[in-house]
Amino acid sequence: MSEVETEREMIERLRAGDKSACAQCVEQHASGVYRLALRMLGDEAEAEDVVQETFLSAFKAIDSFEWRSGLKTWLYRIATNAALMRLRRKTPLAVSVELPEEDGAETVPTQLFDWCCLPENDFATSEAKTELEAAIRELPEKLRAVFVLRELEGLSGEETAQTLGVSIENVKTRLHRARLWLRERLSGYFTELARSHEEG
């Protein structure tokens, strides 16, 4: 049976209220939905709430699933909207996937020290990983959604565009800006580390 046929059968079983299909759907997608929510919100308890909301909403609204995208993309769309709603409640003016491109993220490089050739050990420390996790959490929200879906969850450009309801060009632009933003943010930490090696 092809992937499309398998998914079609799964949707039909979900529509029929088949609980084993619900459990199968949870097993297949809950981890991804959780990672997405956690990267978006930076809080385990809130991410868990988003996972619950996502599957409750999805199973309730499964009759409205329209086959324009895959089940995973549809679930990620529900989860992304739930996460963005939570962020909007925290900072009402800062979050919208529709904000103009020039708003919210300066990406012209100002950090020009080449830290890429630091010893590999320096990149593998828990401090370096913590710095990277913090940088991702600090990404402007409209860049973060694209970045998490595309780069951390591995959705294609088209799937990411469908999930967020934006164009593929928009996804490419935001992903590039997110990468530049993270580079700039990490450069502060790694440049300081490199200079401390020089002084030491």
Partner 1 sequence: MEEHHCQHLLGELSAYVEGEASEALCAEIREHLAGCENCRAVVDTLNKTIQLYHTLPQPDLSDGARQRLYRTLNLEALLKP
Give contact residues for partner 1 (rule: CB under 8 A): 19-20, 22-23, 26, 30-31, 34-35, 38, 44, 48, 51-52, 55-56, 59, 108-117, 123, 128-129, 132-133, 136, 151-152, 172-173, 175-176, 179-180, 182-183, 186-187, 190
Shortest distance, position 45 Cβ to partner 1, whole Å:
9
Whichever of 67 and 133 has its CB closer to partner 1, that residue is 133
- Report the distance separating Cα 191 and Cα 79, nearest Å: 36
Whichever of 76 and 190 has its CB closer to partner 1, that residue is 190
Whichever of 88 and 172 has its CB closer to partner 1, that residue is 172
Cα–Cα nearest to 135, from 148, 120, 118: 148
Whichever of 8 and 35 has its CB closer to partner 1, that residue is 35
- Report the distance separating Cα 91 and Cα 13, nearest Å: 39
Cα–Cα nearest to 190, from 107, 109, 115, 111: 115
Shortest distance, position 140 Cβ to partner 1, whole Å:
16
Whichever of 4 and 156 has its CB closer to partner 1, that residue is 156
Cβ atoms within 10 Å, residue 111: 14
Two tokens at 28?
């297949």
Whichever of 69 and 111 has its CB closer to partner 1, that residue is 111
Shortest distance, position 25 Cβ to partner 1, whole Å:
10
Shortest distance, position 160 Cβ to partner 1, whole Å:
14
Shortest distance, position 97 Cβ to partner 1, whole Å:
19
Cβ atoms within 10 Å, residue 168: 14
Shortest distance, position 38 Cβ to partner 1, whole Å:
6
Residues 6+ apart with CB under 8 A from 64: none
Residues 6+ apart with CB under 8 A from 144: 39, 40, 136, 178
To which residue do tokens 């963005």 refer? 84
